[in-house]
Amino acid sequence: MHNKTLAELSAGLASGEFSSVELTRHFLARIAKLDSVYNSFITVTADQALKTAAAADAKRSAGNSVHPLCGVPIAHKDIFCTEGVRTSCASKMLDNFVPPYNATVVENFIRAGAVVLGKTNMDEFAMGSSNETSWYGPVKNPWDINTVPGGSSGGSAAAIAARLTPAATATDTGGSIRQPAALCGISGLKPTYGRVSRWGMIAFASSLDQGGPLARTAEDLALMMNVMASFDSKDSTCLDLDVPDYSAGLTNSLKGLRIGVPKEYFGEGLNPGTASAVAEALREYEKLGATLIDISLPHSGLSVPAYYVIAPAEASANLSRFDGVRYGYRCEDPKDLNDLYMRSRAEGFGDEVKRRILVGAYCLSAGYYDAYYNKAQQVRRLIKQDFVSAFEEVDLILGPTCPNPAFEFGAKGDNPVAMYLEDIYTISTNLAGLPGMSIPCGFVDNKPVGLQIVGNYFDEVRMLNAAHQYQQVTDWHNRAPKEIV
């Protein structure tokens, strides 16, 4: 059962091939048996999952028309608030935090009747590209447990690769959906900024954060998007646009599709194996009827420095609320108010979180604001303009998701900049607010390689169509790590 896709599981439930309770028990058993190796879950909500599953079965057997995801198991990244279930953001700071409300995304899945297996591991406060910053320990990549699964949604990606859940929610601030999707050999979609509500999604960098799905196939991502995307009046940055049927365009032909190939994404620093896998994928698209057009995104090189000013600046304010006063970690025996603040934050946050708070506060401080924050915002506008110009000529932009396949634990531990460069191809879409996705397109040394597809604003249907068509003629997305049977 665990090798079936979300769409196949949905069909199996509809035909009565198996019940939701059976399905849920099966995945819970796999988690219990295998996740001590991968560490992809922080919290497993077995009782609640089985209750939801039983309710879904009752609903189906009563002959009620149900949502396609009713009774289908999924998992939530532990950044989405779940009422009554600890939501930690993989931080010691929130190890004891049980929200009294649901994120809108969580609420949407409850309404659909989906079964939530648990909350997945991640980099602390979504800050990291390797899942090494989690307070609950690193997640192992199922393709090679000596390597990282990527981050920050590494738990969601690894759980899917290890067939512990068919799909999961995730978030992407600079590549946190696409990079782990690439490193774990699965599919992931970061929607257009404003498409998925951020209410109840713990903020890292508010102007960049966007929730999205991880799954094995583009078809499954479409099913997930049909639930996740919604207008939400509780999020002022959410756009009030009709939600399309993301599954509707999957089978369209790609004849005449104009694909832009940015030269900046194939330069120095790109692993040759990754480069040839992506080149092979581009040839596949030509066979499907698409036209390749060489384009330039001249300001791409500035995306990492701009991002590492803007994201930490926003984070430095977003994380001020974790002060030990109202909820979350509080140091023992504070001497006075300053001691309470300083020790609660010093003891509650990990090193990478502290590093970003410090960098962000510095960039915003008097005398440095113009040189850093303002300059970064100017660069951000230029990067956006690059894309706007490119999309006048092309429908989609394709390239590698990240420069290298999964690296070993500790490989970039003492070099934050090397770690930040892993997001060099993904960050610019967040700065521009554009949708981006990653699908498997080959292997380097038995490690998966991701193909990135960037679309125009709110053009997710076309992106999913392009990904699905590719997955009809390739089988990279069906490969599983050797140990997974």
Partner 1 sequence: MSWETVIGLEVHVQLATRSKIFSGSSTAFGAEPNTQASAVDLAMPGTLPVANEQAFRYAIMFGLAVNAEIGKTSVFERKNYFYPDLPKGYQTTQLEKPIVGPGWVDIQRKDDSHKKVRIHHAHLEEDAGKSLHDTFFDTSGRGMSGIDLNRAGTPLIEIVSEPDMSSAEEAVAFAKKLHSIVTSLGICDGNMSQGSMRFDVNISVRKPGQPLGTRTETKNLNSFKFMEEAIALEVERQIDILEDGGNIIQETRLYNGDTKTARSMRSKEEANDYRYFPCPDLLPVVIDDDTIDQLRRNLPELPDARHNRFMTDYGLSDYDAAVLGDEAQMAHYFEAAAKVSSDAKLTANWIMGELSARLNSSDLDIGQCPVSADYLGRMVLRIKDGTISTKMAKDVLQAMWDGEGDPDTIIDKRGLKQVSDSGAIEALVAEVIASSPAQVDNYRSADDSKRPKMLGYFVGQIMKASKGQANPQQVNEILLKKLDELL
The residues pairing with 73 across neighbouring beta strands, listed in sequence order, are: 115
Binding mask 403-442 for partner 1 (x = CB under 8 A): ----------------------------------------
Is 88 noted as a catalytic residue in this protein?
Answer: no
Number of amino acids touching partner 1 (CB under 8 A): 44
In the bound state with partner 1, the residue whose beta carbon lies nearer, of 164 and 313, is 313
Select from 18, 327, 409, 443 the one that contacts partner 1 (CB under 8 A).
327
Q: How far is the CB of 156 from partner 1 (least distance, A)?
A: 17
Taking CB under 8 A as the criterion, which residues in 76-135 touch partner 1?
80-81, 87, 89, 94, 97, 99-101, 103
Taking CB under 8 A as the criterion, which residues in 209-238 touch partner 1?
233-237
Helix-, strand-, coil-residue percentages of the chain, each rounded to 5 = 40, 15, 45
3-state DSSP call for residue 444?
strand
Q: How far is the CB of 122 from partner 1 (least distance, A)?
A: 14
Q: Of these residues, 19, 91, 130, 176, which one is catalytic?
A: 176
Tell me how far apart the alpha carbons of residues 218 and 367 are, in angstroms, rounded to a whole number. Answer: 47
Binding of partner 1 by 458 (CB under 8 A):
no
Q: Pick the closest to residue 391 from 347, 455, 466 (CA basis).
A: 455
Taking CB under 8 A as the criterion, which residues in 141-200 touch partner 1?
198-200
Give the CA distances from residue 311 to residues 174, 193, 331, 427, in Å, rounded to whole numbers and listed in that order. Answer: 9, 15, 27, 10
Burial of 90: CB neighbours in 10 Å, binned 0-12, 13-18, 19+: buried
Q: How far is the CB of 435 from partner 1 (least distance, A)?
A: 19
Binding mask 338-367 for partner 1 (x = CB under 8 A): ---x-------------------x--xxx-
HSE-up of 270 (CA within 13 Å, CB side)? 23
Q: How far is the CB of 324 from partner 1 (least distance, A)?
A: 10
Structure tokens at 199: 């209410």
Element (H, E) at 170: strand 167-172
Per DSSP, the residues of 184-215 read HT-EEEEPPTTSS--TTB--SSTTT-EEEEEE
Q: Of these residues, 19, 20, 40, 77, which one is catalytic?
A: 77
Handedness of CA 67, 232, 196, 470 (dihedral sign): positive
Q: Of these residues, 10, 130, 134, 152, which one is catalytic?
A: 152
The answer to whether 195 and 221 have CB atoms below 8 angstroms apart is no
Please name the residue ranges forming H helices in 16-103: 20-38, 46-61
Is 15 noted as a catalytic residue in this protein?
Answer: no
Q: How far is the CB of 317 from partner 1 (least distance, A)?
A: 5
Binding of partner 1 by 321 (CB under 8 A):
yes
Phi, psi of 336 (to 5 degrees): -155, -175
Binding of partner 1 by 325 (CB under 8 A):
yes
Q: How far is the CB of 198 from partner 1 (least distance, A)?
A: 6
The answer to whether 124 and 89 have CB atoms below 8 angstroms apart is yes
Binding mask 300-319 for partner 1 (x = CB under 8 A): -------------xx-xx-x
Structure tokens at 455: 């679309």
Is 253 noted as a catalytic residue in this protein?
Answer: no
Question: Which residues are designated catalytic?
Answer: 77, 152, 176
Residues that bind partner 1 (CB under 8 A): 80-81, 87, 89, 94, 97, 99-101, 103, 198-203, 205-207, 233-237, 313-314, 316-317, 319-323, 325-327, 337, 341, 361, 364-366, 369, 373
